[in-house]
Structure 1
């Protein structure tokens, strides 16, 4: 019986400090995770602070749009015909349009009916321009995937995302 008591006492002396150390480490890791809890950033999205490079687009009404037209707060949406997430996003935007001016850029063939349907849908948001999928305007904005939403102010990207919720509480920089 005394041998058993000695073994239990030795195990208690060894195990208890290790359990306390484990609880302390878990607590510290959780605290650090809350401090650095930053949502993962999609590497295909332009970074806030990026300057929009020179570009020129002609919208469906024949009006030319350039980087000089991005002086105030402007949302720019990039959509591709045949893209399921693009249809979902455009539906959400039409249901709850942004307050800022909106420019839609649709990648597709102007002769196709699907492009016409997408243009008609996003036309309710503001200006619409149709481009090829390899148009230089994509590089000017730093767009690598569809759909992409940008909030710009003064020709600078202030926010980017692929859902309207990414733009909640977006403040425009003071010019």
Structure 2
């Protein structure tokens, strides 16, 4: 009988020790929360109707880009090299941008990542949109639009308010009349 009681006590102690270690591992995993390359899909911080904060930056061609210069229906898309959903959206975004009445003036593509990694995206997007490259730490446009994941697509009205927010596709975007 004493062996059975001793075995039960040892088993219970080991079970409690295992449970404590498991809680410690779970806590450490929650603390890390490191996003995978390409960002974490998730909602954008800005809801439809929000006035995007004023921004001023320069595209890869050296031309200034300001919120107030974007026409009604302008589309701004955020991509990250190495992001599989971004690669799938890229040709659809280019096709949509080519249909916009103001052409490249109405489409902005923001590539978030190291310049060397972004080169392929820049080459592909430059024919249809104005392209801005920002580093992973968050640039002017990433902060202005509150981007938290990639790909993310926004559409603005003429005053800089969001008509479409956090679309991960161009299917919800309207093509304004010329």
Partner of 1:118: 121
Query: Offset of 1:136 from its aligned partner?
Result: 3.4
Query: Offset of 1:51 from its aligned partner?
Result: 0.8
- Partner Cα separation in structure 2 for residue 43 and residue 115 of structure 1: 23
Partner of 2:100: 99
Conserved? CA contact 2:100–2:176, under 8 Å:
no
Query: Offset of 1:46 from its aligned partner?
Result: 3.0
Query: Offset of 1:131 from its aligned partner?
Result: 0.6
- Partner Cα separation in structure 2 for residue 95 and residue 67 of structure 1: 23
Most deviating of 143-152 and 66-75:
66-75
- Partner Cα separation in structure 2 for residue 157 and residue 108 of structure 1: 24
What TM-score, normalized to structure 2?
Answer: 0.64
Partner of 2:114: 109
- Partner Cα separation in structure 2 for residue 131 and residue 151 of structure 1: 19
Once the two structures are superposed, what CA deviation does each residue of 1:28-56 show, in whole Å capped at 9, x if it has no partner?
Answer: xxxxxxxxxxxxxx633631101110212
- Partner Cα separation in structure 2 for residue 71 and residue 140 of structure 1: 17
Q: Which has the larger radius of gyration?
A: 1
C-alpha change, 1:158 and 1:87, in structure 2 (3 Å) is: same
Instruction: State the Cα RMSD in Å.
Output: 2.1
Partner of 1:129: 132
- Partner Cα separation in structure 1 for residue 92 and residue 129 of structure 2: 15
- Partner Cα separation in structure 1 for residue 77 and residue 69 of structure 2: 15
Matched, 1:60 2:60: yes
List alignment gaps of at least 5 residues for structure 2: 1-41
Partner of 2:150: 146
Paired residues, what number? 128
Q: Secondary structure at the match of 1:53?
A: coil
Conserved? CA contact 1:102–1:126, under 8 Å:
yes
- Partner Cα separation in structure 1 for residue 82 and residue 46 of structure 2: 22
Query: Offset of 1:70 from its aligned partner?
Result: 2.2
Conserved? CA contact 2:67–2:160, under 8 Å:
yes
Conserved? CA contact 1:104–1:127, under 8 Å:
yes
Query: Offset of 1:73 from its aligned partner?
Result: 2.2
- Partner Cα separation in structure 1 for residue 75 and residue 129 of structure 2: 10
List alignment gaps of at least 5 residues for structure 1: 1-41
